[in-house]
Structure 1
Amino acid sequence: MGKYLMVGAGLSGAVIGRHLAEAGHEVTVVDSRSHVGGNCHTERDPDTGVMVHVYGPHIFHTDDEEVWEYVNAYERFLPYRNRVKATTGGAVYSLPVNLHTINQFFGKTLRPDEARDFIVNEQADTSIDDPQTFEEQAMRFVGRDLYEAFFKGYTMKQWGCHPSELPASILKRLPVRFNYDDNYFFHRFQGMPEHGYTAMVERILDHPAIDVRLQTVFSRNQAGAYDHVFYSGPLDGWFDYELGRLGYRTLDFERFTCDGDYQGCAVMNYGEVGVPYTRITEHKHFAPWENHAGSVCYREFSRACDPGDIPYYPIRQVAEKALLQDYVALAEGAEGVSFVGRLGTYRYLDMDVTIREALDTARGFLGHVQAGTRPPAFFVAPL
């Protein structure tokens, strides 16, 4: 029987820990926070009864049937479709950009084939053959008018730089639809946990071989007491930032409450630079099966992450990738530790991908244990 430590009680630590516990090993999970679940932590607001996504909304969507069955084994997921709205230029539109958005924005009544021809032949900048930046990708995709209304200002606020400084790959994730489908995601399985994500993670960690220690700050000298450590904290933090800090964006939340319904939807984006926040989220709409007289809303502000802040989005521009390469080299020389999850691999990961990688990591690790071989520092390469 092995003795293993999970640093972090988020999805990565919980899923890996549960898998190893079920295989007969002894697992300790530590987290510096007072709750499990990491950034997908949810809790009931005591005044309104609304289930609040404390660190910003988390919407579960996946095409991975095993992952969908996994989460539903620990918490019932109820139907939820993410239908985002955007306020720009004094009007409210539907996102992602779809046929309704196009017709409303340009004051037209185009059919799907007409809208496609209109965007491709009259709006898109076809002189851009090989888009390299976010701005070029948007101009090539939808043209200047839609880019400036829905993408430019939002992106400048979210990333703290001009879209011409960001890679085109960021925008490749944003669909444009020539029908009236306003479901933000394409995935087969979409939903929200009936009693919140924290309840789900608590159940994953509810095993006699798992010892959970909250409000416990990990230090590297504790690693020697375990056969192996799975570290889901910041990669550079394991090495005490000796090469410098990897860049992240963080979020500040301005919480407010109201009676009734504040905005009529879960997510309202604000695309104009003159509005300092990127969006307002109204949390009772994330659980449409519930009814609440009051409402809890968050205004979201994005900024550069300072020491002591919660890191949300890895920047991964040229300078960060160069520093990441140096940290990966250090990590691969480290003994007795594997780096997992969003922070451990310095990658933006959706929840379903995090769970998939955690399952694969746990299975791969047990294979190394059985074979008597050394587990890798990364089961999924950060670069």
Structure 2
Amino acid sequence: MNRYLIVGAGFSGAVIAERLAKNPDNFIVVIDEREHIGGNCFTERDSETNVMVHKYGPHIFNTDNIEVWNYIQEFCQMMPFVNRVKTIFNGNVYSMPINLHTINQFFEKTLNPTEAKDFIKSIADNTIDVPSNFEEQALKFIGKDLYEAFFYGYTKKQWGCEPTELPASILKRLPVRFNYDDNYYSNPYQGIPKDGYTAIFEKMLNAPNIKVNLNTKFDSKWDVREYDHIFYTGPIDSFFNYKYGRLSYRTVFFESSITNDDYQGNAVINYADPDVPFTRIHEHKHFTPWESHNKTIYFKEFSKETEEGDVPYYPKRLAQDLEKLVEYQKEVEKLDKFTFLGRLATYRYMDMHHVIAEALEIHRQFIKQ
């Protein structure tokens, strides 16, 4: 009997557990310090409205990886969903990501796609060759006016620092479109599980050779001698008791409200004005348009620096963070029978489909050993 310990019951840990459990000679223990499975993808129905709530913020599944798309559908019925994000700036509502409608509305023009491309080229900062930070990347892409309207204030609220301190790579996930496509994602496979995400994890972890222990915190002092291998998905700096210092994350918190009917008419609306303290409002009934609800629940989302006891969301990956990360990675290489995987354990920004793809590949490589 092979015994495995998996630290973390989010997608990284659940996928590894589900794959290992296919072999009846394996016994898998999954632990999580929270009181529930699912990590930040945890969903539950609100007791007053019966709306399915994404407790840690909206999660829309989207991928270009057919293997991942087929895999996730083994555990759920994925309903079609298009995320059409709106942004409020200076009293007007715009479509995001920036598209032809956004450009024409903002500049009060009626440009066609070719004219819009030429126009954006004319206002972009062509003096920037290789952008060294977020702000330069934006200025090179879209110019000063669009950057200051849609990205400067929102980004400063989201990340808690000047955009010049952030890597240029963050903005590469935000395309500019020269048509009227307002689908926030460009991946071909998109949807939301009909019964929420928690039901997926329940099915993944429902095997006789998987044991789940919640409210159980792991640290490097654990006696792991009884396990043949440990898959760790928690924060890499926490594992080593922050010996090289804390890696910086942003976290988010929410203010929820309930009202009748429909609050904002859309799932997600961003607030780009810097004097508005929250970054966005998400109204969760709109993530399940196949359901009908008389009441609605919505959340104002605020961003702040992660402190002890907070749930880390977004790795900032500033220069000083990456220096610390190198030292932590050296420590990982010294460990025997440990695999670090997932967003927190590798200190990377990863969407759900990236996490699942990584876990599937790690399992494939592991069983070849």
TM-score by length of 1: 0.94
1:179 CA displacement: 0.3
Assess, with a 3 A threshold, how the Cα gap between structure 1 residues 2 and 191 changes in structure 2: closer, same or farther. Answer: same
In structure 2, the residue corresponding to 1:22 is in which secondary structure? coil
Counterpart position of 2:353 = 352
Deviation readout 1:82-104 (Å, 9 max, x if unpaired): 11000001100000000000111
Deviation readout 1:82-131 (Å, 9 max, x if unpaired): 1100000110000000000011111111111111111112x111122222
1:222 CA displacement: 3.3
Counterpart position of 2:104 = 103
In structure 1, the residue corresponding to 2:6 is in which secondary structure? strand
Superposed counterparts of 1:198-213, under 5 Å? 198-213=198-213
1:149 CA displacement: 0.6
Counterpart position of 1:80 = 81
Query: Amino acid of the residue matched to residue 3 of structure 2?
Result: K
1:216 CA displacement: 1.8
Counterpart position of 1:162 = 162
CA contact (8 A) 2:87 2:269 kept: yes
Counterpart position of 1:10 = 10
Superposed counterparts of 1:1-383, under 5 Å? 1-24=1-24, 25-121=26-122, 123-220=123-220, 221-368=222-369
1:141 CA displacement: 0.8
Most deviating of 180-189 and 16-25: 16-25
Percent identity of the aligned residues? 55
In structure 2, the residue corresponding to 1:225 is in which secondary structure? coil
Deviation readout 1:257-297 (Å, 9 max, x if unpaired): 11111111011001111001110011111111111111111
Counterpart position of 1:373 = none
Deviation readout 1:219-261 (Å, 9 max, x if unpaired): 4323222111101110111111122111111111111111111
CA contact (8 A) 2:256 2:298 kept: yes
1:31 CA displacement: 0.9
Query: Amino acid of the residue matched to residue 305 of structure 1?
Result: T
* Residues in 1 aligned to 2:267 and 2:176: alpha-carbon distance in whole angstroms: 21
1:165 CA displacement: 1.4
* Residues in 2 aligned to 1:129 and 1:12: alpha-carbon distance in whole angstroms: 38
1:218 CA displacement: 2.2
- 5+ residue gaps, structure 2, are none
1:347 CA displacement: 0.7
In structure 2, the residue corresponding to 1:297 is in which secondary structure? strand
- CA RMSD between the two structures: 0.9
User: Aligned pairs, how many?
Assistant: 367
* Residues in 1 aligned to 2:127 and 2:246: alpha-carbon distance in whole angstroms: 39
